[in-house]
Structure 1
């Protein structure tokens, strides 16, 4: 029975291969546009984060008044106000916000890289442990490189990451669509 549903599921995917390919092409075009102007792509990224923070802040405020005790209402409401203020900050000064986000990105990459390196090293007896170790080292080095160039690189690093992500997602959707077509 599962085999039959798998075939039906694959058949429905196969009939939509063109949509996957079209999505891939659109993402590639967006990635190339972002790559052509990484500073603008950085500002767009900051605005996107700002919108998400505003929405999150409103949700926190609505949630705050659903909580019963006064102490909890205060904590949730304060969280909501801080999110909303951060969202407004992103719109008010996107270049400074990009510097803050770039520094957070550098720290996050460094921490994730060190952790992944440690995990890879601990996996030594397991086959393929070197890939995990190498991945951790590369991630940590990316964090160090970003931190070393900060704050100057904050004008373009987020836009570059956005452009690369759009290009990779675009190529993967295009490849998936073409593979499903066969």
Structure 2
């Protein structure tokens, strides 16, 4: 028996919704950690260059680990590999920041542009996949924030200031964390 494309798409969406329901606690934990990391990033963006790079490195590693934890046991979930790429990028960029805190602002800006764009696209794809799910729009909006932040950084690249990078990273982390926490909270309230 073959499925139509529409029926297959609905089966795919339902599998993702079931995965979100099963792992809602980890999505909630991840959201809270991302919000806390975002607030820290906004509060401390004007300290010395080395301290900012170190802080951003640790924030990216922590957010990557939090995202990775939420993926434990979700290997069969739709878009698992896209989310796993987002985790790997966060941890890799964080480690690169820690390895050489004296790196140029241009390299830092380029790495964040890639991170924000991939993170944004992955959240937009996730939201469109769970679209009929309540509050899917928050995930979609957080993805758009990531894409917009990457475009703003790209446009301001020759003169990017350290405080701007820290501020944008904080906005991205709060946006993604808030959207995931709200979605998980609503799922848990409905369960």
Kindly indicate which of the two structures has a greater share of residues assigned to helix.
1
Q: TM-score, normalised by structure 2?
A: 0.41
Q: TM-score, normalised by structure 1?
A: 0.42
Larger Rg: 1
